[in-house]
Amino acid sequence: MPFEDLKPEVSKILVNKNNTVTERLQLVCQLLKDTINYYDWVGFYFRNGSKEELKLRTYVGEKTDHEIIPFGKGICGQVAVSNKNFVVPDVQAQDNYIACSITVKSEIVIPLFKDGENIGQIDIDSNTPDPFTEQDERFLEFVNQEVAKIL
């Protein structure tokens, strides 16, 4: 399904107040993983209170040990401080990287802003090398903007 067709599906899930916010985030993770064949792990991390660390809120894909990630550590921790998208075509080429699974080849992390503040991120791992384009970035920015509206 092209990204333009996915956008209304994402919005529909997020505005459905019959589910809790965490349930809605989980459904978005599931939709993205099920629909985009190179999205193998999809999760949302958020800042853990006022601590300088990220906490995993919800995800789909292989179980991970990395529920807490300190700011600055790994791709996710770097995005928490840079406030910038981070596209990694080849995770093995990264020094500051936290491996979740040996099958992962690439990763994309997009910060999530609420009222201009970087409060979390969507993180996607792929078992395909170098699959992400600017279209992924624009789509995931849209997803995060929609999420910010319900937080």
Footprint of ligand SME (CB under 6 A): 41, 43, 64, 66, 69, 74-77, 97-98, 100, 107, 123, 125
Which of 24/105 has CB closer to ligand SME?
105
Least distance (Å) between residue 8 CB and ligand SME? 28
Which amino acid makes up residue 82? S
CA 67, CA 19: separation in Å to the nearest integer? 23
Point out the residue whose Cβ comes nearest to ligand SME: 74
Q: For residues 87 and 98, which CB has a smaller minimum distance to ligand SME in the complex?
A: 98
Q: Answer for the pair 148, 112: CB distance below 8 angstroms, yes or no.
A: yes
Q: Least CB distance from residue 146 to ligand SME, whole Å?
A: 22
Measured torsion, CA atoms of residues 98, 129, 11, 83, in degrees rounded to the nearest 10: 50
Which of 61, 79, 62 minimizes the C-alpha distance to 70?
79
Residue 55 or 66 with smaller CB distance to ligand SME: 66
